[in-house]
Amino acid sequence: MSEIPPTDDSRLVSRENFQELLADAKLTIPESEHNDFRVLLSALDEAAKHLLQLDDEQPTVDLELYPRINIHIPDGKDTDKGGWATKVTVVCTKPKNSLLAGRTVALKDNIALAGVRCLNGTPPVGDAWIPTVDATVATRVLDAGATILGKAACENGCFGGVSDTACTGPVDNPWAPGYSTGGSSSGSGRLVASGQVDLALGCDQGGSIRLPAAHCGLVGHKPTWGLVPYTGILSLEATIDHVGPMTKTVADCALLMDVLAGYDGMDDRVPRMVKHGSLGFVKGIEATLGKKEKPLEGLKVGILKEGFESSRMDPGVEKLVRAAAAKFEAYGATVTTCSIPLHTESAPTWMCALPMAGMRQGILGDMTGRKQLFMTNRIQKTDGLLSQAAFDAYGPGGQNTFLRGRFLQKKYGPALHARALNLMRRLTDEYDKAFAEFDLLVMPTAPMLTQKTMTREQKVAEEAGPLRLLNRNLGVTHNTAPFDFSGHPALSLPIGFASPADDPGVKLPVGMQLVGRQYEDLVCLQAAAVWERENDWQTIYAGDL
């Protein structure tokens, strides 16, 4: 391959193609320079063709070490009321350790598992995508002796907070049939809470680990941004991508964090100095629980005033969270109210920041600018647009994100996204100022209780359009989304039940969110472990307080 191809006109980028290039870019170039640029572009074209002939650089999966058995799509009786998208059995024949020996795991269905379809909650346009790689987190749980039992259903494109948008069907709340598990890691929440698996992995860009955890009575931890590798997972937007554990207990959450966290050599989100297996979360909570009296002595807890100021704040949720937070004093902590006024301003900032980058990365699959593993067998040429079939396959959440991104891009350009990110940095600084005084911030995970799902038939019969369907999500991420942008660790802990005003016979789980300093995930886990030991959350009901 020569650097500059021959200047023979027949070998160059055609005059017509060059003119189209200029027209698309709305540019003019002097006629005398056209041939020079055609030669330069032809050299580039030769390089591109050569590159595409080379073997791709992808990790290989040793199927003798990690065999896949009985891959199948569950039938209507085998989905655990919507929890499963695809089932399989995967083990490591020579695990590196036994941390998860005998434990079963479900992966959210945006996490790559070679040879197993990955739907991302969206009906495939053509053949379903079948990854050829395993995500780092999948390999790590297998190396720790766990058995992966399949892919947990997730909401369409991971854009839903109510669990009835997945292409595989609604996911039913295990505590209250007909109610949502929350989203978008809906199947992960369902499968752990219903006992189908011991542990699950979820992904969180606006609350998608913590919200299903809160609504299903689980511990759900969104780690510090960049603590757990996102390698081999479909991204929504790299600066807010998180993957983490969803478990029944804090101890299991800490154990899974020990297995997952640390640099993997591929994901540029993870600092090199964070070595895999070096963080000692289990030892840390065991040390705290070993203190017989006042195990949280010296801990300063701030109850975030603005965390209770959502327009959709449920009185039962507020009552439970305030009562649960006050109990930290009995365990040795000091508990006072704190205020971060900018917290309530995060919603419009997040609303503008997410679509512009999320459209390009999450919907169009353009992850350029990152140092990471690119799953090239999924990347398609889009020219910045979706086909009609691909647009139709998304539910209202993905369609809205795409249209919002296009609208903001065309009307305001990159200056708006830059302003939004600067304001999010200001909010991050405000949280960090609070953490100069407090070790933890406490607030409701979700300000409201979970809501009823709608079947496809109900949506059609009631002519439920995008506005009605998307309005169900309003306010639910009031306390979760800000910490995706700020990157602080945030854990949802189950603290009791409350009943919706219009359905008093139903009891729904409520979660309390604990937020810590960046890379102090252990503090969240320690406080949660003490509260969990001292309280049986399943016996606590807001109506009794």
Active site residues: 108, 184, 208
Q: How far is CA 393 from CA 24, 123, 226, 439, in A?
A: 28, 6, 31, 44
Is residue 517 within 8 A of residue 437, CB to CB? The reply is: no
List of residues 6+ apart from 228 with CB closer than 8 A: 137, 242, 243, 244, 257, 260, 261, 262, 270
Nearest Cα to 114, choosing from 134, 128, 139, 129?
Answer: 134
Question: Read out DSSP for 195-231?
Answer: TS-SEEEEEESSSTTHHHHHHHT-EEEEPPTTSS--T
The span from the CA of 454 to the CA of 179, in Å, is: 9
Location of structure tokens 């900032």: 349
Handedness of CA 179, 182, 184, 188 (dihedral sign): negative
The 3-state secondary structure of 87-110 reads: EEEECCCCCCCCCCCCCEEEEECC
Find the Cα–Cα–Cα–Cα dihedral 10, 12, 13, 14, rounded to 10°. -30
Residue 162 CA from chain centroid, whole number: 15
The span from the CA of 363 to the CA of 385, in Å, is: 9
Is residue 103 within 8 A of residue 201, CB to CB? The reply is: no
Is residue 246 within 8 A of residue 185, CB to CB? The reply is: yes
CB neighbours of residue 55 within 10 Å: 5
In this structure, the strands spanning 68-72 and 104-108 are unpaired
Is residue 512 within 8 A of residue 492, CB to CB? The reply is: yes
The span from the CA of 15 to the CA of 39, in Å, is: 11
Question: Read out DSSP for 473-486?
Answer: TTTTTTTTHHHHHH
Tokens of 417: 């996204």
**φ/ψ (deg, to 5) at 108:** -55, 145
Handedness of CA 139, 140, 143, 145 (dihedral sign): negative
**φ/ψ (deg, to 5) at 149:** -105, -5
Q: Which residues pair with 104 in a beta bridge?
A: 147
The span from the CA of 203 to the CA of 207, in Å, is: 9
